[in-house]
Amino acid sequence: MRIKFEEQLANLNNTLIAMGGVVEQSIADAVKALVEQDVELAKKVMAADNEIDQMEKEIESMCLKLILRQQPVAGDLRLVSSVLKIITDLERIGDQAADISEISIFLAGTQYIRNLEHIQSMATSTMMMVAKSIEAFVKKDLTLAREVIAHDDKVDDLFGRVKKDLIEMIKENAGDGDQAIDILMIAKYFERIADHATNVAEWVVFTITGTHKDSKIL
């Protein structure tokens, strides 16, 4: 019985890794589509959101079957319950990559009012956070998970810079206001992606320690 359970856990783990890979690719494609104003690539990201949604449902079903049929306890229960939380954050990251791409399509063919340096820095940081949060889960690496959590402050600082720059730009030329708001929304989506990556890392900590945000649960 235990051997079968271990096989099911391994399958769950591999499926989650696959979902994380699709999410990471969606973020990378969304950034490239934004910078290069590539409409077709942006549409690909939006289509991938459906795949991510299906993967979430598949993994959710796997988790519920494991709980109902195997009745895991202690560490195994922490692992399965954490996966249920993690896939919700990954699905939302997929949504936000699609939202960024939707704005990219709207902006395609128009010249950007400002270079996207800070946006690209945010994108690089958020992609790193998502990748490392998944890696922390796979390796059950507490140190790596805590690095991801700490890095969220850097993304928040970058968002603050983007917001400040855009406010100054609108003051100088109100005619640039519409595009400035669109770019600010893109920055906000990246900031939210970083928040979700932080959530994933916090559930990794829970998987290992039984503590979530300093509260002992299991």
The pLDDT score that the predictor gives to residue 27 is 96
pLDDT surpassing 90 at residue 174: no
Please name the amino acid found at residue 125.
S
Q: Which CATH architecture has domain 2-216?
A: Up-down Bundle (1.20)
Q: Give the span between the Cα atoms of 128 and 131, in whole angstroms.
A: 5
Q: For residue 68, how far is the Cα from the chain centroid?
A: 29
- Please report the pLDDT score of residue 101 as a whole number: 97
Q: How far apart are CA 50 and CA 139, in angstroms?
A: 28
- The token duo for 178 is 């519409």
Query: What's the token pair of residue 157?
Result: 């600082």
Q: What is the token pair recorded at 156?
A: 């928040």
Q: Please state the φ and ψ torsions of residue 217, each to the nearest 5 degrees.
A: -110, -55
Q: Are 56 and 86 in contact (CB under 8 A)?
A: no
Mean pLDDT of 18-46: 96
Locate the domains of the chain by residue range: 2-216
Name which of 185, 7, 215, 199 is nearest 86 in CA terms.
199
Using alpha carbons only, how large is the chain's radius of gyration in Å? 19
pLDDT digits (tens, 9 = 90+) for 33-78: 999 999 999 999 999 999 999 999 999 999 999 988 887 777 888 9
Give the whole-angstrom CA distance, residue 84 versus residue 60.
6
Helix (H) or strand (E) run with residue 113 in it: none
Q: What single-letter amino acid sits at 106? A: F
Task: Report whether pLDDT(24) > 80.
Answer: yes
Q: In this model, does residue 1 exceed pLDDT 70?
A: no
Q: What does the pLDDT read at residue 25?
A: 95
Tell me which of 24-38, 145-159, 169-183 is least confident: 169-183
pLDDT of residue 142: 96
Look at phi and psi of residue 156 and say left if phi exceeds 0, alpha if psi is from -120 to 50, else beta: alpha
Which tops the pLDDT comparison, 143 or 9? 143
- pLDDT 10s digits, 100-156: 999 999 999 899 887 788 888 999 999 999 999 999 999 999 999 999 999 999 999
CA torsion sign for 210, 142, 95, 91 is negative
89-101 confidence digits (pLDDT tens)? 999 999 999 999 9
Lowest mean pLDDT among 120-134, 166-180, 184-198: 166-180
Instruction: Report the pLDDT value the prediction gives residue 75, as an integer from 0 to 100.
Output: 80
pLDDT at residue 113 in the model: 82
The secondary structure of 65-101 as a DSSP string is HHHHHH---HHHHHHHHHHHHHHHHHHHHHHHHHHHH
Provide the pLDDT for residue 218: 56
